[in-house]
Chain A
Amino acid sequence: MKFILNTGRTVTQGRHVEHKYHQGYFEETSSCFIHPLDLMDLDLEDGEHVEVVSEWGSVVLRAVSCEDLRKGMIFVPLGPFANHIIPPRTHSTGMPDFKNITVELARTERERLTQWELMEKIGGKRYENQ
């Protein structure tokens, strides 16, 4: 099913900007907020996993029911998960489209990667000596 993806700040994301390897940051930034009726249409329960696919790639997130949203729109707090599928195109303005992106959603049994696994997938190395 097609959806419009918006990304943005949340308090929980903000509280974890200095604690990015904590579970709280992972849970918040890998959440996909979605209208409860859309959850029903996707045959998903709150908390189950969903694959979000954009023209730039795909990422597995945890669906979280949220009535603030209009049907047909999803919200993902800004962070490495949302950015995994945001195209790096700026239309010559310097600013990518972090909001209002068309994506496809489907239910999945796959697990989410962690934020470190996302970084390692592209050649990074987690820092573990904390």
Chain B
Amino acid sequence: MKINDVVCPFCGCLCDDLEITVEHNRIVAVDNGCTLANAKFMSKEQLASPIRRTGEGWENISYDEAIQYTVDMLLDADRPLLYGWSGTHGEAQCIGVHVSELVGGIIDSTTSVCHGPSILAIQEVGHPGCTLGRVKNRADVVIYWGCNPLEAHPRHMSRYTTYADGYFLQNAFRERKVIVVDVRETETARVADEFIRIKEGGDYAVLSALRAIVRGKGDVVPESVAGVSRSQLERIVTLCKDAKFGAIFFGLGLTMTRGKYKNVRNAIELVDELSRHTKFTITPMRGHWNVYGSNEVFTWMTGYPYAIDFCRGIAFYNPGETSAIDLLARKECDACLIIGSDPGAHFPRGCVEHLAEIPTVVIDPVPTMTTALADVQIPVAVSGIDADGTAYRMDGVPIRVRKVIEPTLPNDREVLKSIHAKMKEAKGQ
């Protein structure tokens, strides 16, 4: 059986045009997806039952035992951290917020290690964004800054920019100018019309120089800024000012280097400056599938987008203090529930060491690096494959995802629901 218009559950592009072939409740072919989508849909690594760490190794346990362990762990903890949330759907994220509030814990998503700084910048100066559809149909200049879509979002360029014809661009490849700014000459840089290679840590200076030139103050800009010649910067500004509609996409090259949210703020202010001449927009390249959804769900439920601390009985937000990396590095939390992410692979060792010391439960379909640090892992159905739900695309558009095969395991929503119900019962609510 072929299923059309399936939404991919891997990256923030949420491509919604995949074609999946299912035979006897197994996925046998994936069409239209990129290599990352194929690997996700064809994965056969799912755990069959919950596991618990013993002295020597691991043993299988029942769902009831695993859920009871999680309930006891959270209720016993003074400062529990509930982290991850990007790999799961919005409905499960909602229950996550309720659970965190009930135990007075901290809830944080993978935002804090991807576009957290972008959110801090947006809170300072706003977000002149737009949907990917507008970019596809209108943008005649596209800038990828500090990101490498061909490796991280493989279909971004073919669905929305370089290779995607739009309503006002009949031949996108010729009519759309693509500019790539990076410290490495990546595959993406090689297909661009202009490649700006900056020295590591030079983003802030180059953004400031571009702003000065747009303002007509190019004479204050030195001959070379962070390895980029003034003449190239002037050429870029002319290209941008002549554009009918320009779109900047930026990645972790801005958020992870020195300056962090100040780099992003400078990029937003460049967009502000350019919008005095033409129409320009800016969009963060959100990486992990529904990470944008975690920000939406957390914001409409608590008022804050990530790193929310309920220990005072009300929602409190202070990234740098209430964010997962800092809590773990300070060895402050005393229990951790991880869902839909793999901090074992993606957090610095100084944080991961603490995870190994405290009681940790992982809710994830497959064994990950974090499994090695956990006490219990509860396998679940995969959102978008054998679980349905809502996820947000990188431009903030919510998309309903269906299941394409019948589940054999409970989904995140069901597991969290029983954890929440049991906790309420224990608290006599």
Contact = CB atoms under 8 A, between A and B. Distances in A.
A11 B40 CA distance: 13
A95 B116 contact: yes
B390 interface: no
A95 B117 contact: yes
B258 interface: yes
B143 to A, nearest CB: 18
Contacts of B40: 18
B261 to A, nearest CB: 6
Contact of A19 (B43, B116, B120, B344): B43
Interface string A94-120: 111111100000000000000110011
B350 A88 contact: yes
Which of under 10, 10 to 19, 20 to 34, or 35 or more describes the interface residues of A? 35 or more
Nearest to A79: B345
Contacts of A84: 349
Given A20-B342, A95-B260, A122 B348 contact: no
A85 B350 CA distance: 9
A83 B321 contact: no
Contacts of A65: none
B212 interface: no
A127 B372 CA distance: 6
A27 to B, nearest CB: 15
User: DSSP majority for the A interface?
Assistant: loop
A17 interface: yes
A75 B252 CA distance: 14
A108 B185 CA distance: 28
A122 B345 contact: no
Given A119-B373, A127-B372, A86 B257 contact: no
Contacts of B224: none
A96 B113 contact: yes
Interface in B226-282: 252-253, 255-258, 260-261
Contacts, number: 194
B154 interface: yes
Contacts of B325: 88, 90, 94-96
Most A Cβ at <10 Å: residue of B43, B120, B258, B260: B260
A126 interface: yes
Nearest to A7: B256
A21 B342 CA distance: 13
A80 B197 contact: no
Interface residues of B, number: 72
B152 to A, nearest CB: 4
A122 B151 contact: no
B283 interface: no
A17 B342 CA distance: 9
Given A15-B36, A18-B40, A83-B345, A116 B372 contact: yes
A19 B349 contact: no
Contacts of A4: 200
A18 B368 CA distance: 7
Contacts of B117: 93-95
Contacts of B184: 6, 68-70, 73, 75
A20 B344 CA distance: 11
Most B Cβ at <10 Å: residue of A92, A94, A115: A94
B356 interface: yes
A47 interface: no
Interface stretch (B50-58, B95-103, B129-137): B50-58
B346 A19 contact: no
17 contacts: A4-B200, A9-B151, A11-B154, A70-B184, A83-B347, A88-B348, A94-B319, A95-B113, A97-B256, A97-B257, A98-B256, A99-B253, A100-B257, A116-B372, A119-B372, A122-B352, A127-B371
